[in-house]
């Protein structure tokens, strides 16, 4: 039986990695080994940061809610506790939008949560 070399398979595999490395600088785009290292690291960063983005946005929303609540004399924790006690089910993303774009509506929520406006 004749020996089968894996030239086309290897070429296809290398091409896939080199295509993913498009836009990288110098050898990280041209040399397979360097490109493979860069692509593996990039994929790991993407995986990690997709989860990190969710944490970062939640932190941002909490900061915005806290700043708006403090303008009305409440801390973030007391404001959220008051909303939960009042049975208001609204997520932090929506609260942050209200705080930034509609201060009057946010003031109504502060009253509901037990603060003064």
- Residues 84 and 94: their CA atoms lie apart, in Å, by 15
CB 115 within 8 A of CB 82: yes
Instruction: Please give the model's pTM, rounded to 2 decimal places.
Output: 0.77
**28's tokens:** 């990280």
What phi and psi values does residue 47 have, to the nearest 5 degrees? -60, -45
Contact status, residue 109 vs residue 77, Cβ threshold 8 Å:
no
Q: Taking the CA of residue 4 as centre, how many other CA atoms within 13 Å lie in the half-sphere pointing to its CB? A: 5
What is the pLDDT at residue 89? 92
Class of domain 7-113: mainly alpha
**Domain positions in the chain:** 7-113
Give how far Cα 70 sits from Cα of 7, 18, 62, 88, Å. Answer: 66, 52, 12, 19
Written as tens digits, the pLDDT of the chain (117 aa) is 888 888 899 999 999 999 999 999 999 999 999 999 999 999 999 999 999 999 999 999 999 999 999 999 999 999 999 999 999 999 999 999 999 999 999 999 999 998 655
Q: What tokens were used for 7?
A: 């030239």
């Amino acid at each position: 039986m004749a020996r089968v070399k894996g030239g086309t398979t290897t070429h296809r595999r290398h091409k896939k990695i080199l295509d993913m490395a498009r836009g990288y600088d110098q050898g990280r785009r041209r040399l397979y080994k360097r490109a493979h290292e860069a692509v593996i690291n990039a994929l790991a960063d993407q995986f990690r940061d997709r989860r990190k983005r969710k944490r970062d946005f939640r932190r941002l929303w909490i900061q915005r809610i806290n700043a708006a609540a403090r303008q009305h004399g409440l801390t973030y924790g007391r404001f959220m506790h008051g909303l939960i006690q009042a049975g208001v089910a609204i997520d932090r993303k929506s609260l942050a939008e209200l705080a930034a774009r509609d201060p009057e509506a946010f003031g109504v929520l502060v009253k509901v949560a037990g603060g003064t406006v």
